[in-house]
Structure 1
């Protein structure tokens, strides 16, 4: 819908798909996006420091990069049609690029639809577990949930939860929570957290690992209470 409205209004539609590439099927024709950007290190499980960008043909024709090194980009600029190598620069990690390509191939071999189904099953199971733990609050319960589960633990700051579970070999991250009011500045305390805990699953995770996470959280909550 956003893509159709942008096309109709003549507004370029740039889509940040960093959390979607490797997790969800993406059809740029259906999305009607002019530019789509994805990172390698997240659900695609490619090397850190790699990314990909899709440019629609009508956008590619208008791109005139400013070279910041000695690579002869002007040859690519004058290609008919313009070359997809147009945005590249000379200095790059060839090993990382090869790793990104292999990660994309591997995801396609597994099947993006199968990956999405597996992620959905695991994430739904995790949400059910966490919703059953008193003292754990879940965030972001939308119509189409992803493989990213965000939550907080009462009377515990997110970094404390992350460090506690790391002892059990459970890797989590922390993310900022949006303020309840615009322009609000929230001083983080255990009672008023400004960050939350993020648990991301992938197709290689197991139900047993979800059970371990839930058990570790129950032990943490019991200590708080």
Structure 2
């Protein structure tokens, strides 16, 4: 486990109640600087709520979140943190290219938009309104938007959901490049193959807390697949 000194993200005993239900129930985890940390869990386990707490969008009822050494949502670190949410309905009317260039203009030293577009294969859809993109294309635009400001730490909430295999592997290569460049990546995913291929550290959540954590080799040392470990440590959430 990362120490306080090498952790880009430190979450301690986080508790959140939404709609009368305890969504996070004493969740504790850390993400090492320059590493890719995968957060797994069934629907309703608290993955998206965790990301929202880490980016200051949800205020926890108890616990502590430190992001790059500052409290979650701190204005002084906001420009150093990127977020790719699951959905961005507010962008529906804007063209993909206009959106990315607008977001790039908000940062002092943004990534080269053309290079990012080329890497993600977005060139053919730059003039297409966001709402008319396929689900996978929207995900690629969301990812580009999260990265255009050159974040030191980026949160990716199910980044490859809806992508075809080609786009998914392109995204994996991009995430590997980011990690090699020292960017800290925290991603949630339902794709066991994705976590197994990319993650330096895995946290499996169940009912708002960490059920089991470790590296992929540690979690699968008894010969199980990562999916087997996931199924053994999680429960089906009530609808």
TM-score tier by shorter-chain length is under 0.3
With the length of structure 1 as denominator, give the TM-score of the two structures.
Answer: 0.25
Larger RCO (alpha carbons 8 Å, 6+ apart): 2
Larger Rg: 1
**TM-score (normalizing by structure 2):** 0.24
